[in-house]
């Protein structure tokens, strides 16, 4: 494992403007005396998209959390609020590839009851030990992996990063259970960094199961592109369970069922409200075992 210390952590909230939990958790940390407690590294609190928050929308012009590919950041011609904002954030926290901050923790919520979903983009020993540390100390934690070259997530500005996604909570809503779980996950991640820096980490698990995304299923559409059905109740609220070939996944408005045709897979973000703009119905992943260290 790389032994360089993590000197500077940025905790980001409101990357999506209608996911209130992260925004108000940053508020809480600012208002509490003692804030987040004492760590031997710096923790900055950073609101990513306050204009979308004020509008109670996920984004204004473009999903900010898909706007951090180097090619996009380097393209001054790209217009729209989020493209400009991504360049500002890259100036403030980055630049990507040579960033001022060593690690970004990006706070999100889901309308699906997925518990705590820790999203990784890489599986080196540091990141595997981090998610294992949290999973060993908290109930209902799942780890997912979304790999791509030159990642589009905000957190990819920093070399170390994790996205904390907690649900279910509606858009534009605060729920104490979701808020508290997010708070606990953040504190565990910071505790992990503290112990990592001091070489005092406990022995990790031998291995960890990670759900690796490979595709999305899309809502059924009619010939005009309008929604022609809905997620079948058979899979509603079944995040991180196995979907088998032949199970019903959609109920069409004409009453017919649509069945899953393809490999058995684990489903998540089932009927996620934020994905209706792209007509996505759920994410599909394969469970893989990763050996730690």
Name the residues that contact Zn ion, by CB under 5 A. 16, 19, 108
Q: Can you tell me the distance from the alpha carbon of 122 to that of 127, in angstroms, rounded to the nearest whole number?
A: 7
Query: Which tokens go with 108?
Result: 């999100």
Question: Using CB atoms within 10 A of its CB, is residue 222 exposed (0-12), middle (13-18) or buried (19+)?
Answer: exposed
Query: Which tokens go with 47?
Result: 């609101």
Q: At its nearest, how many Å lie between Zn ion and the CB of residue 18?
A: 9
Q: At its nearest, how many Å lie between Zn ion and the CB of residue 15?
A: 6
Q: At its nearest, how many Å lie between Zn ion and the CB of residue 255?
A: 34
Q: Is the preceding peptide bond at 95 cis, omega within 30 degrees of 0? A: yes
Helix (H, G, I), strand (E, B) or coil at 152: coil
- In the bound state with Zn ion, the residue whose beta carbon lies nearer, of 55 and 221, is 55
Query: Which tokens go with 80?
Result: 């729209």
Closest CA to 22 of 104, 144, 112, 131: 104
Comparing every residue's Cβ against Zn ion, the nearest one is: 108
Q: At its nearest, how many Å lie between Zn ion and the CB of residue 53?
A: 12
180 Cβ contact list (under 8 Å, min separation 6)? none
Q: At its nearest, how many Å lie between Zn ion and the CB of residue 128?
A: 23
- In the bound state with Zn ion, the residue whose beta carbon lies nearer, of 108 and 232, is 108
CB 208 within 8 A of CB 143: yes
Q: At its nearest, how many Å lie between Zn ion and the CB of residue 39?
A: 25
Q: Can you tell me the distance from the alpha carbon of 14 to that of 6, in angstroms, rounded to the nearest whole number?
A: 23
- In the bound state with Zn ion, the residue whose beta carbon lies nearer, of 178 and 249, is 178
- In the bound state with Zn ion, the residue whose beta carbon lies nearer, of 6 and 67, is 67
Q: At its nearest, how many Å lie between Zn ion and the CB of residue 290?
A: 24
Q: Is the dihedral of CA 137, 139, 145, 151 positive or negative?
A: negative
CB 107 within 8 A of CB 79: no
């Amino acid at each position: 494992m790389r032994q360089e210390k993590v000197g500077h952590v940025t905790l980001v909230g409101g990357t999506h403007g209608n996911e209130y939990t992260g925004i108000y958790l940053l508020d809480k940390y600012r208002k509490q005396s003692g804030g987040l407690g004492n760590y031997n590294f710096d923790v900055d609190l950073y609101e990513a998209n306050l204009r979308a928050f004020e509008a109670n929308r996920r984004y204004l012009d473009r999903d900010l959390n898909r706007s951090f590919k180097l090619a996009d950041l380097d393209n001054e011609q790209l217009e729209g609020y989020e493209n400009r904002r991504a360049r500002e954030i890259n100036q403030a926290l980055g630049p990507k590839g040579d960033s001022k901050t060593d690690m970004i923790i990006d706070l999100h919520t889901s309308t699906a009851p997925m518990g705590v979903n820790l999203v990784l983009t890489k599986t080196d020993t540091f990141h595997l030990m981090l998610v294992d540390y949290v999973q060993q100390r908290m109930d209902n934690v799942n780890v997912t992996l979304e790999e791509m070259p030159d990642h589009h997530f905000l957190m990819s500005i920093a070399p170390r990063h994790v996205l904390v996604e907690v649900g279910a909570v509606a858009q534009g809503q605060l729920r104490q259970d979701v808020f508290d779980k997010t708070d606990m996950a953040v504190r565990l991640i910071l505790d992990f960094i503290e112990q990592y820096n001091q070489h005092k980490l406990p022995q990790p698990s031998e291995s960890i199961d990670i759900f690796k995304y490979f595709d999305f299923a899309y809502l059924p559409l009619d010939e005009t592109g309008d929604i022609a059905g809905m997620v079948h109740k058979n899979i509603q609220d079944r995040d991180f369970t196995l979907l088998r070939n032949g199970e019903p996944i959609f109920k069409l408005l004409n009453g017919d069922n649509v069945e899953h045709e393809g490999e058995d897979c684990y489903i998540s973000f089932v009927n996620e409200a934020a994905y209706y703009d792209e007509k996505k119905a759920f994410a599909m992943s394969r469970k893989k075992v990763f050996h730690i260290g």
